[in-house]
Structure 1
Amino acid sequence: MTDTTFQLESGVIDPDADTPAVWSRATWFAVLSMAATSFALVSAEFMPAGLLTPMARDLGVSEGVAGQVVTATASVGAVTAILSNVLIGRLNRKTVLVGLSALAVGSNILAANATDFWILLLGRAGLGVALSAFWALSVAVVARLVGANATGRGMAIVTLGVSLATIAAPSMGALISNWLGWRIAMAMTAGLAVFAMLMQWLSLPTLPATTSNSLADVFRLTRRRGIQIGMLAILLLMTGHFAGSVYVRPFLEQVTLLTTGPIALALLGFGVAAVIGNIAGGRMADANVRIALAVTAALMAFAAFALLLWGVHIGVAFCFAAVWGFAFGMAPVVLPTNLSRAAPDALEAAGSLMVTSFQVAITIGAVVGGFVLDTYGATGPLTLTAILSASTVILSLLQPRG
């Protein structure tokens, strides 16, 4: 794992070289194909949030049991993230990415046609494999497409698909399921994956493997101080975010005293701000990733503290929900870029550690946030968000320069 140059059809890109200010049309098309894939995969991941009631009724299970389709995707994904870059070996990365999109197509079709809950879980597990393996490869592929010095900008475009899917998928799923049924809604995510797969096939250059990772290579990276701090930053900030955001509705209902309509508007503002933060995060990460990490964490901590102190006021609640959304939009760009800077010679292995850290943080945040909510009330989860985000600001100051 000593090869630090990236092979493309057009030649070799040195990760330390300056990146051209203007991307070619082919580069834009390739990066947009990655964004389309992230939109398709994350739409499929979040779609069940808008389908739980009709899906549970049709399959003869409770809504709580039906909700485990999300757990299946995340748990399989956590394991896949560690193993994916080991199992693909020396396969051409373009072939792997197209294959993962094909797996997503098949998994979504299987889920849409499930005759019982276990077949649905099997389809969702396949989606978990495609989702995590894609993200484990994403930073390395984007760096090869645009150059390491523009990785933040490239990842901002790719993760824009995440922000859009987070806003659109649950509501789109609910609307389509009411109109045509939950199976059609689920099948439409297969159509999105087909579109992404075609874009990848047409636009991505051949991407021969530059390394063949072993499990020992992946775990060996954890000895690096920059990797340790980068993984800890993901765990702290994302655990804090999901501990609070999953349970923000009870806060808005019980503290701000909002009804369903205004809550929906506040969450829409959160989503729109996340899209803007996504773009800003890419530019800041390329300029100075340490400052970008500190700003991301500080904004999230400030928003959570402000909601705790003044969240009884409707205007304050709307304002700082948007600030929180802006910080969350920055995070999926800044955190992976921050981690990758500690391993320019092992971006794929670092990607595995990055995805695993995210999946663990999501799980811990949701579980701990639920416990804190039940124990301390609606303000408890946001207190946890504020503390963990503020801790990430301190951690960012320990991040190695470079």
Structure 2
Amino acid sequence: MTDTTLPLDGIAVDHDATSATTSWGAKTWLAMLAMLATSFALVSAEFLPAGLLTPMAADLGISEGTAGQVVTATALVGAITALLSNVLIGTINRKAVLLGLSALAVVSNLLSAYATDFWLLLVGRAGLGIALSAFWALSMAVVVRLVGTKSMGRGVAMVSLGVSLATIAAPSMGALISDWIGWRHATAITAGLAGFALLLQLISLPSLPASASNSLGDVLGLTRRRGVQLGMLAILMLMAGHMTGSVYVRPFLEQVTSLSTGMIALVLGGFGIAAVVGTVLAGRLADIDARKTLALTATIMALSALALVLWGASIAAAFVFVASWGLAFGMAPVSLQANLSRSAPDALEGAGSLMVVSFQVAITLGAVIGGYVVDTFSATANMSLTAILAALTLLLALSQRKA
């Protein structure tokens, strides 16, 4: 299990004293900036293929469908890594682990950039999957050790901000850079981003020693806690619901709202901007009450999806309610992580592993179920399912005991 003291700059600080601190000093801000830069670099590399599939497939002599499997490889390896990462690192200093993960991301992205065939590309993407999931499995515990439990929401939000920014920037910038100088150079740039994050970690992160290691039994044992079970179920329902609808929002906007490609880009741009706002907002609210923040997140997502079902033919409604959905999407990772961690404050690394596994399973289920629903029924049915699953998450959040 994790230790109960917070070693900052080599000094063991009492957990309760640190928890009472809500203001951040310059060193804390710099350390959190390093964590944000790391999340941005890793998620940018994860989403980059969305804008590169066509030139990547042509260059390697494979189909676009085959090229798309690089995303599957990242997710599959990531799900396995998330469960085992905190077991395998043992008592290695967590700063050293984070530096190692960033170094792995640099090497993996370079291998992908200069791959001569599909299999080398697949190996590179698998390495990225390890770095990505291991980082997220550790991130919650590291954030608490940097900022204290009273500022956990703000800390998680700052790291999650890298996700929101990367989600907006990576696919579009990747496509532009690929058209300008080629997909390999675009991929190499993500190696540079990971290298920059590594440098920031080296300069700003304090020593983060672990007093004990986690066993697989420790991690799985957390699932016996009622709060952890409910926290994982909330992740599965809300994120599966989100993926069920969001992956197929373009067909909805084309078929129901009858928007052109340019207008769809504007609507999705509003989604991304609102997601950034949601991330910051949830960070503030989660430090006050994580359970209510999750309930608010689920409410906004449920109402947004339901409104699209009822009034999605209106262009104005599409803009407003896709943006409000984006707000909920930005709030979701922060509120879900904060909600789960309430039940395992003594084992945040193990809880982090379960959190990442839950997210990966939810994303996979949502995409698969969403594909079946849109093919069998319609894009409107996907939105209805999103609303239902978000509403069930709201009921789950309200049924949980207060922290």
TM-score > 0.5, shorter chain as reference: yes
CA distance 1:190–1:2, change in 2 (3 Å):
closer
Q: CA separation in 2, counterparts of 1:329 and 1:290?
A: 16
Taking the TM superposition and a 5 Å limit, the aligned residue runs for 1:142-153 are 142-153=143-154
Partner residue of 1:259?
Answer: 260
Q: CA separation in 2, counterparts of 1:108 and 1:134?
A: 16
1:116 correspondence with 2:117: yes
1:5 correspondence with 2:5: yes
Paired amino acid for 2:345? P
**Cα deviation per residue 1:239-295 (whole Å; 9 max; x = unaligned)?**
000111000000000000001000000000000000000000001111001100000
CA contact (8 A) 2:112 2:120 kept: yes
Q: CA separation in 2, counterparts of 1:289 and 1:189?
A: 33
Partner residue of 2:104?
Answer: 103
Deviation, structure 1 residue 398 = 2.0
CA distance 1:161–1:260, change in 2 (3 Å):
same
Paired amino acid for 1:164? L
Partner residue of 1:71?
Answer: 72
Q: CA separation in 2, counterparts of 1:174 and 1:297?
A: 33
**Cα deviation per residue 1:96-146 (whole Å; 9 max; x = unaligned)?**
000000000000000000111111010000000000000000000000000
Taking the TM superposition and a 5 Å limit, the aligned residue runs for 1:10-29 are 10-15=11-16, 18-29=19-30
Partner residue of 1:137?
Answer: 138
Deviation, structure 1 residue 384 = 1.2
1:340 correspondence with 2:341: yes
Q: CA separation in 2, counterparts of 1:210 and 1:132?
A: 22
Partner residue of 2:313?
Answer: 312
Partner residue of 2:373?
Answer: 372
Q: CA separation in 2, counterparts of 1:270 and 1:37?
A: 23
Partner residue of 2:91?
Answer: 90
Partner residue of 2:352?
Answer: 351
Of the structure 1 ranges 132-141 and 390-399, higher mean CA displacement relative to structure 2 is found in 390-399
Paired amino acid for 1:47? L
Partner residue of 1:237?
Answer: 238
Q: CA separation in 2, counterparts of 1:293 and 1:68?
A: 33
Q: CA separation in 2, counterparts of 1:395 and 1:118?
A: 43
Deviation, structure 1 residue 22 = 2.1
CA contact (8 A) 1:239 1:362 kept: yes
CA contact (8 A) 1:13 1:147 kept: no
Q: Which runs of 5+ in 2 are unaligned?
A: none
Of the structure 1 ranges 3-12 and 352-361, higher mean CA displacement relative to structure 2 is found in 3-12
CA contact (8 A) 2:373 2:382 kept: yes
CA distance 1:317–1:205, change in 2 (3 Å):
same
TM-score (norm 2): 0.98
Q: Give the secondary-structure state (helix, strand or coil) at the position aligned to 2:13.
A: strand
Q: CA separation in 1, counterparts of 2:251 and 2:257?
A: 9
CA contact (8 A) 2:99 2:201 kept: yes
Paired amino acid for 1:8? L
Q: CA separation in 1, counterparts of 2:113 and 2:142?
A: 31
Partner residue of 1:187?
Answer: 188
Deviation, structure 1 residue 15 = 4.8
Partner residue of 1:173?
Answer: 174
CA contact (8 A) 1:226 1:342 kept: yes
Partner residue of 2:205?
Answer: 204
CA contact (8 A) 1:76 1:125 kept: yes
Q: CA separation in 2, counterparts of 1:334 and 1:22?
A: 21
Equivalent residues, number: 402
Partner residue of 1:322?
Answer: 323
CA distance 1:329–1:13, change in 2 (3 Å):
farther
Percentage of pairs with the same residue: 68
Partner residue of 1:389?
Answer: 390
TM-score (norm 1): 0.98
